[in-house]
Amino acid sequence: MLDQQSYQSGFAIFRPCIFEGAVPACYDGKNYPFVFVTELEAQREIADTQLTRIQEFLDGQRDFDDAISTDEFVVPVKVWPDGRITAENGTTFGKID
């Protein structure tokens, strides 16, 4: 059982999916959900992405509505030794193919 193993705490960026609910939005180089040490780091990642999208709008590369909208949000997670994460709602995510 996951709850009997040791874990670390962290924060992950999630986005909503129509059929799957909220899912991790960022993955690391090994295809595991990317985990930030602090909530602020995760929030800054979302903000940095927004700034890039706004700059793309200013450069004529993106529509305004697309540039100013975001559906990403930060979720506290448990990080298991094998790289999987568990969100607050109990859903566990691991490596993607």
Q: What is the pLDDT of residue 3?
A: 57
Tally of domains within the chain: 1
pLDDT tens digits, one per residue of 3-36: 567 999 999 999 999 999 999 999 999 999 999 9
Q: What is the pLDDT of residue 2?
A: 56
pLDDT tens digits, one per residue of 62-81: 999 999 999 999 999 999 99
pTM assigned to the model: 0.89
Q: What is the pLDDT of residue 64?
A: 97
Closest CA to 84 of 37, 33, 20: 33
CA separation for the pair 5, 82 (Å, rounded): 11
Closest CA to 41 of 10, 19, 72: 10
Residues of the domain holding 32: 2-93
Which residues fall within 8 angstroms of residue 26, CB to CB, at 6 or more apart? Answer: 12, 13, 33, 34, 45
